[in-house]
Every structure is written in C-alpha cells, then in structure tokens.
Structure 1
Amino acid sequence: MLQHRVAGSSDGRFDAFRNFARARAEGQILLPPTALGPEERRLHVRQTIIDDHDVRIAYRPEESAPKFKLLAQSPYQFFRGTALLCFRDLAGTDASLPKIITVGDVHPESFGVLPNEEGQPSFGIIDFDEAYVAPFSWDLRRGAVGFNLAARENGDSKKRRARLVASFLEGYRKALKSFDRQERDKAQRFVVGNSPAMIDHKLEACALDHKVFLMELIDLEKRAFRPSDEIAPISDQVDVFQAAIDGYRKNCHIDASGRVRDFRVRDVAIKKRSGVTTQGQERFYVLLEGISEESKDDVVLEMKLRRDSVLRGLIPRDQQFAGDELERVVNAAQIHQLGGAPFHGYASIKEHDFLVREKSPYRGRIDLAKLDRRSAREYAQICGDCLAQVHARSDVEGDVSTRTTERQILTCVDWDTFSGDLVRFAEAAADRVVRDADHFRADYDDGIFKWKNDEKAKPE
C-alpha cells in the first residue's frame, strides 16, 4: 500500500526545487538528481511520482491506478507520463539561453490535428497544459528524448535514433531561419492544401463529418451522451454546469455567433480513462447547443481540472505568466495555435477550477511506429518545424531585445555544436529513462503503486 502525505500538507517540494534551481543557475556546486547513485535515484523517481500525483492519490487513488499501470508498460509510456521527473533533471540548466513561452511537454504525440476557428482541421501542437516561460532549449531537449525513446520502442539502432533526433532538430533550425529571413509568415498554418504531403493526407483523412463524430458520443434524437466504458452521463448536473459555462463564456475567445448560439448546456458526462499524463485527473464532457436547431451542429467541450505546470519553480530566474494559472494555458494556446483554440477558456465549479476547450472531432495523431524510417525522419522534421513556429511567436515582454525571438535563438549558440550536443543528450537521457522505468516497474510489481481494486482498472 502506497504511503503518502495527506493532501495539503506538502507543496510537492516546490520551495526546495526552486531554491535548487536558483542556486544551480548561480554556479553553486550542487548534486543534481541526474548525479544520484542507483539507490538514491530509485527513491527519487518514486518520490517525484508521488509528488506529481499527491492530490489524486489522496482523494481518488483508484482513479490513478490506470495511469500507473500504463506507466509500467514501456519506457516511452513512462516518459510521456512523468514530465515532472524530466524537468527536475533540467532544474536550473540553460540559464543563459533565451526564455520564451515554451510548450512544456514536447514528444512525438504532442503534435496532431485540432479544429481551427472555422472548425476545420489544422496540424500543430495539441497540448499546452504545461506551457511556461522557460529556456527554449527545454522544449528541444524533451522532444529529442521523446523521439529517441519512440525509435527505441520501434527497435531502431543507436545510429538510426540519432538520425531521427537530428531530423527533428534540423526541421526546427530550418524553420527558424526561414522565419528570420521573412520567407515564411509566422501566422501560416498547416491546413489542407498548405502542408507537407504527409500532413496534407492526414488532414484530408480527418475531414470527418461532424455528425458522424457526434453520433459516436451522443444520442442525437435525445441530445444526450451515450453511456459507455469511457462516458458516464450526469444529466442531473446540467444546471450546475450551465452556471459554470455562463461564467466561462465571459473569458472565452470565440464569437458566440460563430459555432454556438446561446451556450446552452444540453447534457453533461464524466470522461473516464483520459490520456497518459491526465489519467486520474477529473474531466467532463459538456454538450452545447449548436448554431442551428439541429443536433448535428452541437459542440462538445472538455473540462479538465486545473493543475500547475510541472515547470513551476524549476526555471532559472523564474518568470511568471501575466495573470493566474488558469490564464497560463489559455494565453499559451492563443499565442501558439494560430487561431486554432477558439473555445479555450476556464470555468469554476464549487471552488474547483477547470480548463475548457473543444473536444476535437479529429483522430489526428500520426503513429510513428507505422512509418518507415525515411517517413519517420520526415515526420520528425515537420514536428521540429511546428515547434519552431510556436517558439517564433512566443516573444516574452521584458526578456527580449529589439531582435526577433528567432534571431535571438539562432545567434545564441553555434548550431552545429548545439545540435550535436542535443543528439548525445537525448541518447544519455533516454538511457536514464529506461533505468528509471525499470525502478518504477519494480516498485509497481511490488505493489507500491497499486490499490485493492487495481485489477478492475484498465489503461486506454
């Protein structure tokens, strides 16, 4: 049985790691988590995972069980669900490099298809929950490790892993150079007819009829969610959620006349078995009445319980977003998604805060495991391009000169050396993730991260 502190009695070692990050940035000689011995590292991995899930463990431990089971499946799944562990290893590093509004959790599956302001498919970054002001290199480091681990999972050799990571970094550099020479518009989106062939085909395949998407979730005649293993309707709570949506409407970026008429809530459901990072984190689906009288125009919103970014307190000379934690993700989405986040906002229910966004009707991720090696490198380069566009749009007031962000990034390092260093970093860090995943899996097999009803829990 997992032993943990009572929720509210700990700040997840926030102050300790903030002080560590500041001291390391000032050049003091300290022992970072990456320098721990095998036994100390095992305990660090366990405690960091507990820190990252302490509220969920305290209040709903049975709902965290599916996530822990998923983390035990492979090093890549472990990496995807343990961003806090990754960034605690980076605490205080790269202090001299330009800081921007980073994505915060870059990996091969953080790129995909979302609806733009017209509801049409567009390709790019799809998750900004961890967005934070940090050195630009932190996105590149996590992304590089993610591509290395994905290649390992596909059985690629060390040389092929290096080529895949190098393709990701080269796509990033080429795009930044293009923006710097003003050969490309930083507001250009990857949409049908305006994308590399691989992405164009994916976008065309995603052009699913909205009615078909709704039919998978909703009884269109009743305008109500269909019960399933993943969806539990709570129709008796419509009035509670209507009040929350009325508040959300005030900070929502969408023109109410565009996709919905009066933000009228037709039904509500609990969404179970969410993504790797958010397993066990409370989430709801809300059905809004669309612009017409017909149910085929209705819109489904996701409401996800707010959590602080895992980067909080780890940044050299930590900077905060303007506004509060709720505004952090919404602001990042508006900057980064090029008009593709019209429903992003936030709402409150009984003193709990939720991030709100449209449930995407598109199954829009590209499975790296299904690509041949040449296509995989092409995809990695496209992802680097997308990340560069996000960074180029992420000027942080007070932290940049009169030069553009892309110029600052391009001139702050020797890129050939920097890229080579990142390829080697990715290999070494991925080796560490494999060892960390082994530590976790041993703890998991020993029952440390299990509960009595864990045998009922199934991962996605």
Structure 2
Amino acid sequence: MTNNIIERIYRFNEGRNPKLLALKYKAMRSDVFTFYRGTCHLFYEDFPRDLPLNVAPSVWVCGDLHLENFGSYKGDNRLVYFDMNDFDEACFAPCTWDLVRFVTSTIIGSHALKVNESEALHLSNSFLDAYSNTLAKGIARSVENETALGLVKDLLKSLKTRLRQDFLDKHTKKKKGKRHLIIDNKHIIEATEAEQQRIRELISTWQKSTQKDANFYQILDVQQRIAGTGSLGLERYAVLVEGKGSPDGNYLLDLKLTKTGSLQPYLTLPQPDWSSESARVVAIQERVQGTPPALLAMIVDGNKSYVLRELQPEEDRVSLQAWDGKLERLNKLMQTMGEVTAWDQLRSGGRQGSAIADDLIKFAHLSDWRNQILEYAISYSKQVKLDYQEFCQKS
C-alpha cells in the first residue's frame, strides 16, 4: 500500500460527484478534526492487525465512533433519545474498535473542545471509566429527558420548544398552498429533472411494495442534499412529502446512497450475508439503538441501495463548546457517551454471533485493554496530524 496520503484519499473517493467531492476536500482542509472525520478509511487501513486490541469480544459496532456521531432523535414511541446516530460504517467487529476510534477523536478534537492535551486525556479516561463501569453491570439502558445529565439534558430540554412548522419554514417556502425545498446551494442544491423523476419513481415503487400510506409519501419536491463529511459526494436527496397534509403537516425525508463500508477490506470476522448495504445499516441501527427512529427503511434499486429516514426537528448534536469553561460539564458528556457505547453493545449482544452480556462483563473487569487504547490513540493522533498537514500542502 502506498504511503502517499493524497493518493490514498483520492483512490478511496473515486467515482463521487466532483462538485460535492470538492466541498468534502475543502471541509477536510479546515481543521484536523474534520480531516479525521472525513478519512475513516485511513484509520482502518493503518490499524495494525497484530494489536492485542483485536482480541476482544465481538459486537455490533458503529465503526466510525467519534465526538460528533452521537445525537438526539425522536423514536418510534415519540420519545426523544440521545444515542449513536451514524451507522454507515456499522459492522461486526471487536468492541475495542469503536473505543479506540472515539478516544483518538477526543485527542485530535481537543481544539474543537477547547481543552489542552492533558484535559483531553482526562476526558478520554472519563469515557473509558464510564464504558467499563457500565459494561460491568451488564444492563442496557437509554438516555432520554428524565435520565440525561449536563449538556445532554440541556440539549434535550431545548428540543421541547422546536415545532415542526418552524422546522419546515426553515427548509422550505410556501407557494400557492404547497411547500417547496429552499435551494440555498449550501445545504440543498438543485437536482436535475431526471434525478427528480428517478427518485419519485423509486419511492413510489417502494411505497407500493411495502403498502405504506400512499398519501403520506406523495412527493412534493426532491433536491440534492449536502450533509455530513465522510459521505459527501455520494448520492443524497432531501425529499419533501405530503405527510399529514399540506402545508404544515409535510415531512422532510433523507434518502442516502449506501456504499460498502470502509472497514470491509480489513474485517477478519465473518459478516452476515446482507441482502444489500442498506440492509446492513438499517439492521444494525435497529439492534443497537434502544428505540429506533419512527421512519427508517431501506430501498433497493438494482445494484444500488439507499437508507430512507425522517429529518426531524428533534435531531441535533450537543454543542462541544457549550461547557462554559467548566470541565465537569464536558466530563459528564464523556461519561454519557461512554455509557451509551456500553449500553448499545450490551443491547445488541447475542445476535448473529455477537458477544453475550457475560462475555462483555468479563471483558470490563480486565484492565490491560485500557492502556492499550490510550497508547495507540495518542500515537495515532500524531500520525493524523502529519497526514492532515500533508493533505493541506499537496491537495
């Protein structure tokens, strides 16, 4: 494998929309944390196969766990939760893979958190403490408004004032009693007529095959959506549907092409024979999250597959800068993220060969893996910074 970072990044992103790919590369040049988020493939290309961390209980992992892949959402029971929220890279792997990627993100993201290196290590230890202590109890729970603490509680509390109509007004405009998506060329760009027609037919065919409410899924508008970092350049659409009636009962949906996970070439554990890549993403999300979102589905179109989900007013991330100089507030956030990681691994245990609670409890009582995670994260964070500098200088 070549050590040329530019070649490795360009090769991984081959075939993506050039205009959107340029936006991805621009974002990756903005700071090292965004670069890290946009290059999950480099992390696993570099991860040594002979590390003891590879010998750990096998679980369903997010695959790309970092500081910004946790957030709020409304579940199918209409309650709002805080959980992992990105499963594009999800797979069956050692439980340590999510831990070491997250801790590395904390060290690299120290500037985003506005903490020094010593404080970043303290926060990393808080995450690992909470993870191991929670795992040792062997009981899976969830974070919702009544159980949230600190910054997460502040986030969930703020969501109570968010209204669907305000959310729609932010992203759409009314014309003759109907809403249309706002094309701002920042979050939404215009889709071609051919693209719009294909998506309309795709969702209509899916709706008929699944016998979903035809009135709800009546499409009012389709445009290209710009979101995320790692997936920029892949097909993604914002879809405005009738929902519960125009103009204020409309729903916004996200339709996203799912590609083979960037971890796939480096997996040593046998994976299920998924019917499609979107089947992988949806199945793992449903077994990991305490309560999955109300609208989460896969749509297959030949050799392509997509994940369809609702864009919600209640969907948001914790502001990493909102700790107001009080490190304990950040500490509680790390503890919550550590607990959620443990709960999600416990909840999905015993499915298609994943470790059962007894195996995870035993692992939690071991100690050698913690230092191994910290040592590797500290070492690899230095490599990421060098790769980032090279990317900025030569791309």
TM, length-normalised to structure 2: 0.89
Matched-pair contact (CA < 8 Å) for 1:175–1:388: yes
Query: Do residues 365 (structure 1) and 305 (structure 2) align?
Result: no
Shift of residue 316 of structure 1?
A: 2.1
- Quick one: distance in 1 between partners of 2:352 and 2:255? 33
Task: Identify the residue that residue 358 of structure 2 maps to in structure 1.
Answer: 407
Task: Identify the residue that residue 204 of structure 1 maps to in structure 2.
Answer: 157
Task: Identify the residue that residue 87 of structure 1 maps to in structure 2.
Answer: 44
Structure 2 unpaired stretches of 5+: none
- Quick one: distance in 1 between partners of 2:30 and 2:90? 27
Query: Do residues 214 (structure 1) and 175 (structure 2) align?
Result: no
Task: Identify the residue that residue 280 of structure 1 maps to in structure 2.
Answer: 233
Query: Do residues 46 (structure 1) and 10 (structure 2) align?
Result: no
Instruction: Tell me which structure has the larger Cα radius of gyration.
Output: 1
Shift of residue 355 of structure 1?
A: 1.8
Task: Identify the residue that residue 288 of structure 2 maps to in structure 1.
Answer: 336
- Quick one: distance in 2 between partners of 1:107 and 1:357? 22
Identity level (%) = 20
**Partner SS, residue 260 of structure 2:** coil
The AA in structure 2 aligned to 1:246 is S
Query: Do residues 240 (structure 1) and 193 (structure 2) align?
Result: no
- Quick one: distance in 1 between partners of 2:275 and 2:87? 16
Instruction: Note the 1:39-438 alignment, pairs <5 A.
Output: 41=3, 43=4, 45-56=5-16, 60-90=17-47, 92=49, 93=51, 94-154=53-113, 156-178=115-137, 180=138, 182=139, 186=140, 188-207=141-160, 208-220=162-174, 221-229=177-185, 230-234=187-191, 239-249=197-207, 256=212, 261-272=215-226, 274-291=227-244, 293-320=245-272, 322-348=274-300, 352-362=304-314, 364-371=316-323, 372=325, 373-395=327-349, 397=351, 399-400=353-354, 405-412=356-363, 415-438=366-389
Matched-pair contact (CA < 8 Å) for 2:257–2:307: yes
Shift of residue 384 of structure 1?
A: 0.8
- Quick one: distance in 2 between partners of 1:190 and 1:250? 36
What is the CA deviation profile of residues 331-365 of structure 1, one whole-angstrom value per residue up to 9, with x for unaligned ones? 01111222232322222457643221111323521
- Quick one: distance in 1 between partners of 2:136 and 2:215? 43
- Quick one: distance in 1 between partners of 2:271 and 2:167? 41
Matched-pair contact (CA < 8 Å) for 1:251–1:345: no
Shift of residue 248 of structure 1?
A: 3.2
Matched-pair contact (CA < 8 Å) for 1:302–1:358: yes
- Quick one: distance in 1 between partners of 2:29 and 2:23? 10
Shift of residue 310 of structure 1?
A: 0.8
**Worse-superposed segment, 190-199 or 300-309:** 190-199
Matched-pair contact (CA < 8 Å) for 1:81–1:276: yes
**Partner SS, residue 304 of structure 1:** strand
- Quick one: distance in 2 between partners of 1:413 and 1:145? 20
**Worse-superposed segment, 406-415 or 299-308:** 406-415
TM, length-normalised to structure 1: 0.77
Change (3 A) 1:298 1:119: farther
Change (3 A) 1:99 1:78: same
Task: Identify the residue that residue 392 of structure 2 maps to in structure 1.
Answer: 441
Matched-pair contact (CA < 8 Å) for 2:36–2:105: yes
Structure 1 unpaired stretches of 5+: 1-32, 34-39, 445-460
The AA in structure 1 aligned to 2:338 is G
